[in-house]
Structure 1
């Protein structure tokens, strides 16, 4: 088994080993992974945080020793909490951009210094919405996980991750986590609401706020109304998503 780490700000994870393939997720700086298959130009990986699999360009990661992978696995995540910051290469004195949610545990091994703000360990549930607001107005991007483009489940995953909690990558996977609630009135700010399509498949997720509002990624990270029917878009005055279930993960 081989291992790797992302030394660049944001790297696409693709469905197939080609630049034109669908982007299914992203690696942020400092994320580590197992290399399941290595070809001449591409590697199939399994991301350590959520076990998500896809293909990345061999030029966009560094090899990692097994002992370092295991150290990263057993260490509490240190994550950057500014929308954008920089690390300094101590050898070349060049700057490397680091986005919100980047992992900082391996900086010394990469000859990097970082003087920005970071967060470590579990945070109170009340902090989830404060984190969610950092992504407000971020454009929707299928497979995205950064404040420059994010999808609905990438948004909920990163908000929870920045507070020390682990969610799976896709909405359908996240819907299997936590405890189902019977009514919106039972929910608390920070709980997750899931929405389905006509076939009954979970296709969307957002974070419950107080007073029947929800923050979610739909076109952009935005705030809308929610009731027992679903999400009511305050701009179009129409329902955009059909409510399936609300889950309490924390």
Structure 2
């Protein structure tokens, strides 16, 4: 997705396979201005990246689908395949195949439907760690490149939570956590730049750590001041606020530590 209808324009986000959009405007035969159904994000895409579907298909694809949990995995058509990434949607997937138009595709990797599990902090962390070492890419949303709010959005989206695309909007959802000592695994930590603007976000992990995308998806130490880069021995990001989207967990550990969460049911079988 680009800021304006030109290949030279800045990439502001990405659409993954199976995600639906509403076409808002057309510019010639090459470009469409679209609104993504998953987060209402608006941008320009090239027309040949889209496939027209009927209104009934649009409704079904937005309610009955599964997420691919494979970093990269092909879906196989009758005489071709399409490589898809983690977080891509498989519309009306029956566990083996799905259909787009008149073409049936098979998918043999791990996939999960949003209705198949109960979201937990453990599941959130496991999903996030699958993106480890993904390179930073402004506007990216895939294992080939992503930015910090995309990591948060994709992980929570696959866990059943609708999260905005940008960090400045993500900070508006959830409940405030006043002190880092009261934080729990799966909370979101937001960071500000020198102008006081929200510029970065990460997901809290046990033992005072955070997983975030800074140069690439990585795990660093976190305290009340911010993210500490042990390699460079300095603070790389200044903490502004911690927000909670997941249900509050009764801690079973000492003060200042993030509780571990036991996995159950389908979530444990997925990894």
Q: Please give the TM-score of this superposition, normalised by the length of structure 2.
A: 0.84
**Aligned with 2:11 (options 23, 34, 46):** 23
Q: Name the CA shift for 1:212/1:179 in 2 (closer, same or farther; >3 Å).
A: same
In the alignment of these two chains, the number of paired residues is 235
Structure 2 CA distance for aligned equivalents of residues 240 and 81 of structure 1: 30
| Alignment-derived partner of residue 10 in structure 1 | none
Q: Name the CA shift for 1:184/1:77 in 2 (closer, same or farther; >3 Å).
A: farther
**Aligned with 1:183 (options 163, 179, 183):** 179
Structure 1 CA distance for aligned equivalents of residues 75 and 32 of structure 2: 26
Deviation, 1:158, is 0.6
**Aligned with 1:124 (options 120, 124, 130):** 120
After TM superposition, where is structure 1 displaced by more than 4 Å over at least 4 residues in a row? none
Deviation, 1:199, is 2.1
| Alignment-derived partner of residue 264 in structure 2 | none
Structure 2 CA distance for aligned equivalents of residues 115 and 219 of structure 1: 32
| Gap regions ≥5 residues in structure 2 | 93-97, 247-271
Q: Does residue 102 of structure 2 align to residue 114 of structure 1?
A: no
Structure 2 CA distance for aligned equivalents of residues 84 and 214 of structure 1: 25
Q: Does residue 40 of structure 2 align to residue 51 of structure 1?
A: yes
Structure 2 CA distance for aligned equivalents of residues 173 and 72 of structure 1: 26
Aligned-residue Cα RMSD (Å) equals: 1.1
Q: Does residue 229 of structure 2 align to residue 233 of structure 1?
A: yes
Give CA deviations for 1:91-129 in whole Å, capped at 9, x if unaligned. xx2111011110001531242222221011243232100
| Gap regions ≥5 residues in structure 1 | 1-12
| Alignment-derived partner of residue 8 in structure 1 | none
Q: Does residue 96 of structure 2 align to residue 105 of structure 1?
A: no
Deviation, 1:76, is 4.4
| Alignment-derived partner of residue 50 in structure 2 | 61
Asked which structure has the greater CA Rg, the reply is 2
1:46 match: secondary structure: strand
Structure 2 CA distance for aligned equivalents of residues 239 and 125 of structure 1: 26
Of 19-28 and 161-170, the range deviating more from structure 2 = 161-170
Structure 1 CA distance for aligned equivalents of residues 190 and 111 of structure 2: 30
Structure 1 CA distance for aligned equivalents of residues 185 and 35 of structure 2: 32
Correspondence list, 1:1-250, <5 A: 13-40=1-28, 41-73=30-62, 75-90=63-78, 93-105=79-91, 107-110=98-101, 111=103, 112-121=105-114, 122-250=118-246
Give CA deviations for 1:19-63 in whole Å, capped at 9, x if unaligned. 011100000000101000011110000000000000000111111
Q: Higher strand fraction: Structure 1 or Structure 2?
A: 1
